[in-house]
Amino acid sequence: MKKLIVYQVDSFTKERFKGNPAGVVVNADGLSDEQMQLIARELNNSETAFLFSPDDYDCDGVIRYFTHTTEVPTCGHATIAAMYAKAIEENLDSCVLRFKTQIGVLPFEIVKEDGDYPVVMTQGRFELSPTLDDETIGRLTTALGIDNTDLDKRCPIQIASTGHSKVMIGIKSRERLNSLEPNYSALSGLSGQIKSNGYFVFTFDSDDKDILTYGRMFAPAIGINEDPVTGNANGPLGGYLVQNKIIDTSDGHFEFNGGQGEKINRFGVVNVRVKIDNGKPALIQIKGDAAVVFRAEIVT
């Protein structure tokens, strides 16, 4: 019999039961795809991360991510959770670990600081689509329950990705953001057409000088009606803001904090860092805190 070590970790927060919860299996060697899917379904988080030993000399390990219904190529909050759980389980010092994901080998930095472990995730290559066509935008805004007067005209509606794409939708009002009640069935159907599973609605309407944007992320096509705090939405948002010249980036570096989860009482903050080369995003990283909710064992 093997004992699987399982953590439940809240990411992008230091307060338990806030931020975004993720499951982590820190010793997943030998698990089949079916077993991982069943464990993810049982834990019932938006994502569960599974850590494996390295499969070649090019990495320090392999990481895979499952929602409760399907495998996904990468996940920000589950990466933060996984590296945090690994650091605690192995009592690590500050280090950079290179983990193989479905979008390539990525460096994850564990920072030992005052007995705790903030984690920095380098995301995949940034990509930005052309602005969506008017018919698609019309279907999207109808599904979200917003109209043209709600939209921030500085912000084109585009698909942005650092490995797991999201549609970026800028609106004017945080009050309007928190009042959204999307048609999840319509959003799910649209995902099949535009080949993007997530919709990130954000606003610059902030009353906190340390938080630039507030957002909400909907991904019903992969079984996540609303994700509390999304690294793979806030990270691409940074690249989107830079490439569209919506913010000033005169010094070759852009850093901001994105708040998310306010509406559903799971508030958390993602620190986003964008390195800029020739006016375009060259490297995107996210940084987040985490808090362990529990550690348990599954006997297989």
- pLDDT category at 251 given cuts 50, 70, 90 is confident
- Of 53, 93, 99, nearest in space to 75 by CA: 99
DSSP symbols for 2-13: -EEEEEEEEES-
Q: What distance lies between CA 43 and its chain's CA centroid?
A: 18
The pLDDT of 190-218, averaged and rounded, is 97
- How confident is the model at residue 106, as a pLDDT? 96
The pLDDT of 20-24, averaged and rounded, is 98
| 127 flagged as catalytic | no
**159 vs 156: CA distance, rounded Å:** 10
CA atoms within 13 A on the CB side of 34: 0
**158 vs 80: CA distance, rounded Å:** 26
**275 vs 265: CA distance, rounded Å:** 32
Query: Is the pLDDT score of 256 beyond 80?
Result: yes
pLDDT in tens, 74-103: 999 999 999 999 999 999 999 999 999 999
- pLDDT category at 249 given cuts 50, 70, 90 is confident
Q: Which of 47, 89, 90, 226 is catalytic?
A: 47
Q: Residue 10 carries which side chain, given as an amino acid letter? A: D
**118 vs 140: CA distance, rounded Å:** 36
- pLDDT category at 131 given cuts 50, 70, 90 is very high
> How much is the mean pLDDT over the chain?
97
* C-alpha dihedral (84, 86, 90, 94), degrees to nearest 10: -50
The pLDDT of 286-290, averaged and rounded, is 98
Structure token pair of residue 88: 């605690």
Q: What distance lies between CA 180 and its chain's CA centroid?
A: 20
Task: Map residue 213 onto helix, strand or coil.
Answer: strand
**53 vs 167: CA distance, rounded Å:** 34
- How confident is the model at residue 203, as a pLDDT? 98
The pLDDT of 103-117, averaged and rounded, is 96
| pTM as predicted | 0.95
- How confident is the model at residue 139, as a pLDDT? 97
Cβ neighbours for 170, distance < 8 A, ≥ 6 positions apart: 151, 152, 154, 155, 201, 202, 203, 204
Task: Among 123-137, 151-165, 248-262, name the one with the lowest average pLDDT.
Answer: 248-262
Rg (CA), the chain: 18
The pLDDT of 182-209, averaged and rounded, is 97
**293 vs 260: CA distance, rounded Å:** 20
- Of 43, 46, 49, nearest in space to 67 by CA: 46
- How confident is the model at residue 108, as a pLDDT? 98
